[in-house]
Amino acid sequence: MADKKTERVETSILPLKYVDLVEDIFHAVLAIALFAIGVGAFFFSIKRLLNTAPFFPNGMIQGVNDILFIVIILEILRTVISRFTDGVFQLDKFLIIGVIAAVRHILTVGASLTLESSKSNEAFNRSIYEMGLNALIVVALVFAIFLSKAAHRKRA
């Protein structure tokens, strides 16, 4: 079999090398902004954690929520950075971000159910539905990750 080099056909007014350069610069700026947001969120979370009263359980729950938010920001940053190495956005990384976000929401709703004993039946039922829906989202996203990994194994 002869190796065929894939050549990109230029269909734009600007040469593709300039479009790629501008796109890379824009992604670099976005990566720096995401890193700054992550660092700012970290320091804000520490400050809020130290000032939350009572520390147990409110401060601890808020701290876990903030940490998971920072993890989401860092996963998005990792996805933008991997764009430079692979040249494409990877589906698996976005699915993982979705799982983390859904689990974060489940933990937040569960914590609010635990802390607020005076919820009305309607509010309680709504919270239970939210947790159930988010659990289904987690299962669907994990299944999508499984399918994506299986597809990568078949190609390799």
Q: What is the Cα–Cα distance from 91 to 2, expressed in whole angstroms? A: 31
Same domain, 31 and 67: yes
pLDDT (mean) for 75-93: 83
Mean pLDDT for 87-94 is: 81
| Cβ atoms 143, 92 nearer than 8 A | no
Residue at which a domain ends, from 39, 71, 87: 87
State the DSSP code for 118: T
Residue 150 has pLDDT above 80, yes or no: yes
128 and 64 part of one domain: no
Looking at the structure of the chain, the number of domains it has is: 2
> Are the CB atoms for 78 and 27 separated by under 8 Å?
no
Residues spanned by the domain of 31: 14-87
**Which percentage of the chain shows pLDDT scores above 90?**
56
